[in-house]
Structure 1
Amino acid sequence: MSTLISGGTVVTATGTLDADVLIVGEKIAAVLARGEATDAATFAAATAAADAEPEADMLIDASGKYVIPGGIDAHTHMEMPFGGTFSVDTFETGTKAAAHGGTTTIIDFAVQAKGTSLLATLDKWHEKADGNCAIDYGFHMIVSDVNDATLKEMESCIGGGVTSFKMFMAYPGVFYATDGEILLAMQQAQRTGATIMMHAENGIAIDQLVAQALAAGRTDPVNHGLTRPPELEGEATSRAITLAKVAGCPLYIVHLSAAQALAAVAEARDAGQNVFAETCPQYLYLTLDDLARPDFEGAKFIASPPLRTADHGKALWRGLRTNDLAVVSTDHCPFCFKEQKELGRGDFSKVPNGIPGVEHRMDLLHQGVVSGEISLQRWVETCSTTPARMFGLYPRKGVIAPGADADIVIYDPAATQTLSAATHHMNVDYSAYEGMQITGKVAVTLSRGRVVVADGEFRGSPGHGTFLSRGLNQYLI
C-alpha cells in the first residue's frame, strides 16, 4: 500500500518545504520537492527504492495545508487511579481523542502502588493498553515505593523499553518520596542512563496550608490554588535540581507552571546541567481566576500544580521561545464534573486532580503561532520532535524523513473551530476551554501510514496502536 500526500507545505523543527510525501506501507519512503512526484522518472525511482508499485494507491491533496509529523504527548494518564476513582478516558477513548487532535503517540504512566513491584505494575498497564489503543503508545514508570527491589527493577524496566521514572515531592502518604529516596533513585538513573521525571511541589508544606485553610472554613476550589503557592513549586524545583546535580542524573520537570520554577530550570541549563522541563496548555491559557469561578465551577480546573495568575503564563511563553521549556504535554487526566469532581464539594482537597486536554494540545499551541508567541517550526519542535528525542523515539517518530514511521498530520491553518464538550471526543462531560474560538484544525491524521482520522471522522480501530520500546534521552551532554 502506498500513499502520496501532495500539494502541502512540509513543516519540520528546522524549516518548511513545498514538498510531497510518499508513504509505502507504514514508513515514509521519500520526501519529494514539488514537481518531483509528477516527474515519472523521479517518482518511479522513489517507489522502486521502496519496493512499491510505480503508482500510488491513494492520493491525499494537502494543498493550502501544513504537513507535519504526528504529535507526541509525553504526559497522559489514562485509566489512572486517584482519590478513590479513576480518570474516565480509557486507552481506547483517550487515544481516539488524541488522534482527532493530531497526536499519534502518547506516553502514559504506569503507577506503582506502595508494596508492589515495578515489573508487576508494568504488566498491569500493558494489560490495560494492549489491543485497545488507536495510536502508538509507550510508558513511563511512577516510582512511589523506593527500596532495594525497586531500584534493581528500574534496570529491568529499561530492558522492557521504559526508560524514564517519575517521582513526586507532593502527595504525602500516596506518591511522596523523601529527598533520600529521590537521591537513591537518581543514583540508579545515573548508572543506567535513565531520566528522572519530577513532580516538583513541596508537599509537606502544602499539606499544612491545606489543613489551615480547611480549619478556617475556606473550602471553595480557589483555595486549591492559594494553598499551593508558586514559591513552593520553585523551592521544590530547585531542590530537585540540586539532588540531580549531586547524583549526576538527567532531570525532567513535569507540568511546570510557575515563573519561580522556570527560573530555577533556566539557571541550571545555563550552567550546563542536564535539566529539562515541560509545560501544559492549561498553564498558558487558564488562570487562577478560572479556579475562582462561582457555584463550584472552579472544581473543573483543579489540577496540580494549580493554575497561576496571568503573569506566570507570560513567563512560560517566553520559556518556550528560549527553550528553557522544551516540551508541551497535556497531563491529560480527565474526571467528570458530575459525580467525580463533586466528590470535593465542601472540601477542595477531595476534588480529583486533573484537566482534560489530549485532544486539543496541537490546536492550542497553534494559537501561539497565530498570535506570534512562537514560530511555526517551534510549534512542531515542542509538540513532536523534541519529545521524540527526549524519550528515545527519534528518528522513528517526530520527523518527516525517509525511514520514519508515517505518523503524519495534515493541518488546515485557515480552518476555525469552537472548542466544546458538545463536540470533543474525550470521555469527559466538560471542556476546560468551553466556547474558545481557535484558528487551525486537523484535516487528516495518519498513524503508521493508515488514515485514522479524516474530516472529523474516526477511521481507525482499537488495537492499531503498538507499544513503543523506547531508548534513552538523546539530549544528554
Structure 2
Amino acid sequence: MTTLIRGGTVVNADRAFRADVLCEGDKIVAVGPNLEAPAGAEIVDAGGQYVMPGGIDPHTHMQLPFMGTVTADDFFTGTAAGLAGGTTTIIDFVIPDPKQSLLAAYHQWRGWAEKAAGDYTFHVAVTWWDDSVHEEMGVLVRDHGVNSFKHFMAYKNAIMADDETLVKSFRRALELGAIPTVHAENGELVFQLQKELLAKGITGPEAHPLSRPPEVEAEAANRAIAIANVLGTPVYIVHVSCAESLEAITRARARGQRVYGEALAGHLTIDDSVYCLEDKEAALAYVMSPPFRSKHHQDALWHGLTGGNLHTTATDHCTFCAAQKAAGKDDFTKIPNGCGGVEDRMSVVWDAGVNTGRLTPSEFVKVTSTNAAQIFNIYPRKGVVAVGADADLVVWDPQGTRTISAKTQFAKGDFNVFEGRTVKGINTHTIAQGKVVFSKGDLRAVEGAGRHIDRPAFKPVSA
C-alpha cells in the first residue's frame, strides 16, 4: 500500500515546512517537495492544510470493568472513534484486582485489545505488593514492552496503593528503567469527605466535587513528587486538574526534578457548574475524578501547557451510558466515574488552544503527540513526520468546523461532555499504518488492524 499526501504544510514539534509525504507500507519513506506518486498510489490532497503526526492519547480506559459495570466503548469502538478524531495511538491501562497477578491481568487486557482498530500500548497498574509483583514488573518490562506503571492514590478499599506500595513500586520502576505514573488524590480524605456529605443528606452529583476539593489532589501530588524525589525516580502525574497540583509540579521542575504533568481536554474547557445542572441525569454524566474545576483552575492548566510544566493532553476516555450512571442517582459515591473524549480531544485542544493564541501549531503537536511519544519512549517511531517513522498522520484543516454531538459521534457513549460545542480546526483525513482510515467523515476502521506497540525500557534491563 502506497499513499502520497500532497500539497500540505508539515507541522512537527520543532518546525513547519511545505512538503509532500510518501508512505510505503506502514512507514514514511520520503518527506519533501514535489514528490512523484508511484503507480497505484492513493493520493490525498492536503492543499491549504497541515500534515501532522497522528495524535497519541496517553490515558484511555477501553472495555474497563469498573464500579460494577463495564465501559461502553471496547477496544474496537474506542480506537475507531480515536481514528475518526485524529488519534492513531492510545496508551490504555491494565488494572489488576487486588491480589491479582499483574501478568494475568496484562494478558487479559491484551486479549481484549486484539480487536483494536488503531495502535495501542499499556500502562500496568500496581494495586498491591508482594514479591511476586516485584518479579512480574521485571517480566513486563523485559518481555512485554511495558515501561510505565500506574498508581492510584484514590479509591480506598478497591485499587488504592498505600505509601508502602508506592515506595516499593517506584524503587522497582527505577531499577527497571520504567516510569511511575500517578493518579493523585488522597483516597482517605476522599473516603471521609464522602461519608460526611452522605450523612448530611447531600447525595447528588453536586456532592462529587465537594468530596474531592483541589487540596485533596494537591496533597497527593506533593506526596508522590516527594517520594519520587527521595528515590531519584521520574514521575508522571496524570489528569492534573487544579492550580495547586500544577504548582507542585512547577516547584519540583524548577529544582531540577524530572516530573511530567498531563492535562485532560475536559479539564481545560469544562467547569464545575455542570454538577449543579437542573437536569440531574445530565449532571451525572460529568462525574469523573478528579472532577471538573472552576475557571480559575482552567486558566492555570493553560498556563501550565504554554509554560512547559504540563506536557501532554489526554482524555481519560472512560464511557458510561446514562443507564450506567443512574446507578448513583441517589448516592453519588456509586456513580461510575468517567467521561468520553478520545474522538474530540484534538479538535477541542486546537480550538481552545491554537485558535485563542495559547498554543502555536507546533506546540499543539507537542502536547497532542510528540511529548507523549518521548516521555513513554516510542519516539521517533511515533510523534513526528519524518522518514522512518510510522505512517500515522493527520491532515488538518484549520478552517474546517464541526459541532460535537453524541448523535453524530462514532464513540458508543450516549452523552458527550462537549455536546453542542462548535470547533474550528478538524482532521479531514487520518492515515494509520500508511492507510487512509478516515476521509471527510467516512470512517474506514478495521477491527483487529491495530498493533501492540512495545515501549523499551529507559535503560538496559538485567534483573
What is the TM-score of this pair, normalised by structure 1?
0.94
1:441 aligned to which of 417, 426, 438: 426
Task: State whether residues 451 and 460 of structure 1, in contact with CA within 8 Å, keep that contact through their aligned partners in structure 2.
Answer: no
1:364 paired with 2:337, answer: no
The alpha-carbon deviation at position 54 of structure 1 amounts to 4.7
Q: Deviations over 1:387-422 (max 9, x none)?
A: 111111111111000000100111111111110001
Which residue number corresponds to residue 440 of structure 2?
455
Partner of 2:171: 187
| Partner Cα separation in structure 2 for residue 234 and residue 10 of structure 1 | 39
Give the secondary-structure state (helix, strand or coil) at the position aligned to 1:238.
helix
Corresponding letter in the other structure for 1:395: P
User: Structure 1 residue 25: deviation in Å?
Assistant: 1.4
Q: Residue 364 of structure 2 is aligned with which of 348, 358, 379? A: 379
Task: Report whether the alignment pairs 1:230 with 2:214.
Answer: yes
- What is the CA deviation profile of residues 228-266 of structure 1, one whole-angstrom value per residue up to 9, with x for unaligned ones? 010111111000001111121110000010100000000
Q: Is the 8 A contact 1:109 1:141 kept in 2?
A: yes
Structure 2 vs 1, CA of residues 473 and 387 (structure 1 numbering), >3 Å: closer, same or farther?
farther
Alignment of structure 1 residues 23-102 onto 2, 5 Å = 23-33=23-33, 36-37=34-35, 43=36, 54-55=38-39, 57-102=41-86
Structure 1 distance, partners of 2:284, 2:68, is 17
Q: Is the 8 A contact 2:91 2:122 kept in 1?
A: yes
- Residue identity matched to 1:158: V
1:248-287 superposed matches below 5 A: 248-287=232-271
Q: Distance in 2 between matches of 1:473 and 1:63?
A: 39
Is the 1:389–1:473 Cα contact (8 Å) retained in structure 2? no
Match of 1:10 in 2: 10
Count of aligned pairs: 456
Q: 1:351 Cα deviation (Å)? A: 0.3
> Do the aligned residues in 1 keep the contact of 2:5 with 2:43 (CA within 8 Å)?
yes
Q: Is the 8 A contact 1:255 1:278 kept in 2?
A: yes
Alignment of 1:55-204 (within 5 A): 55=39, 57-130=41-114, 132-159=115-142, 160-204=144-188
Following superposition, the deviation at residue 280 of structure 1 comes to: 0.1
Query: Quick one: which of 214, 217, 227 aligns to 1:243?
Result: 227
Contact 1:99 1:135 in 2 (8 A): yes
Q: Hey, what does 2:319 align to over in structure 1?
A: 334
Pick the aligned partner of 1:319 from 279, 304, 307. Answer: 304
Displacement of 1:295: 2.9
Structure 2 counterpart SS, 1:428: coil
Contact 2:2–2:38 (CA under 8 A) maintained in structure 1: no
Q: 1:348 to 1:406 in 2, by over 3 A?
A: same
Q: Which of residues 388, 395, 401 in structure 2 aligns to 1:403?
A: 388
1:340 aligns to what SS in structure 2?
helix
- Does the CA contact (< 8 Å) of 2:29 and 2:388 recur in 1? yes
1:389 corresponding residue in structure 2: 374
Q: Which residue of 2 aligns with 1:306?
A: 291
**Cα offset for 1:460?**
2.9
Query: What does residue 46 of structure 1 align with?
Result: none
Q: Is the 8 A contact 2:73 2:319 kept in 1?
A: yes
Q: Does 1:289 align with 2:276?
A: no
Shift of residue 2 of structure 1? Answer: 2.0
The match for 2:19 is 19
Partners of 2:160 and 2:182 in 1: CA distance: 11
- CA–CA separation in structure 2 for the residues paired with 1:56 and 1:265: 51
Aligned AA for 2:30?
Answer: A
Offset at residue 472 of structure 1 (A): 3.5
Alpha-carbon distance in structure 2 between the residues aligned to 1:302 and 1:386: 28
| Cα distance, 1:54–1:422 mapped onto 2, change above 3 Å | closer
Q: Aligned pair in 2 of structure 1 residues 205, 54: CA closer, same or farther (>3 Å)? A: closer
* Paired residue secondary structure (2:19): strand
Alpha-carbon distance, 1:56 to partner: 5.8
Deviates more, 1:456-465 or 1:299-308: 456-465
Q: Which runs of 5+ in 2 are unaligned?
A: none
1:205 aligns with 2:189: yes
Q: Determine if contact 1:222/1:288 at 8 Å carries over to the other structure.
A: no
Contact 2:83 2:445 in 1 (8 A): no
Q: 1:11-46 deviations in whole A, cap 9, x for unaligned?
A: 11011101111111111011113xx32xxxxx5xxx
Q: Deviations over 1:299-358 (max 9, x none)?
A: 111100111111000000000001100000110001011x10000011111100001110
State the identity as a percent. Answer: 43
Alignment partners' CA distance in 2, 1:119 and 1:207: 30
The answer as to whether partners of 1:4 and 1:56 remain within 8 angstroms in 2 is no
Residues 265-303 of structure 1: CA distance to partner in whole angstroms, max 9, x if unpaired?
001111111111101011111111011112312111110
Q: By how many angstroms is 1:473 displaced?
A: 5.5
Give the counterpart of 1:466 among 442, 451, 460. 451
What is the Cα deviation at residue 168 of structure 1?
1.1
- Whether the aligned pair in 2 keeps the contact of 1:12 and 1:399 (CA below 8 Å) is yes
CA drift of 1:55 comes to 4.1
Q: Secondary structure at the match of 1:137?
A: strand
Residue identity opposite 1:26 in structure 2: D
* Distance in structure 1 (CA, Å) of the matches to 2:342 and 2:294: 23
**CA contact 1:392–1:473 (8 Å) conserved in 2:** yes
Residue 158 of structure 1 deviates from its aligned partner by 0.6
Q: Following the alignment from structure 2 to structure 1, what is the Cα–Cα distance between the partners of residues 83 and 206?
A: 33
* 1:321 aligned partner, one-letter code: T
Q: 1:343 aligns with which of 296, 317, 327?
A: 327
* In 2: Cα distance, 1:71 partner to 1:426 partner: 17
Give yes or no for contact 1:162–1:470 (8 Å, CA) kept in 2. yes
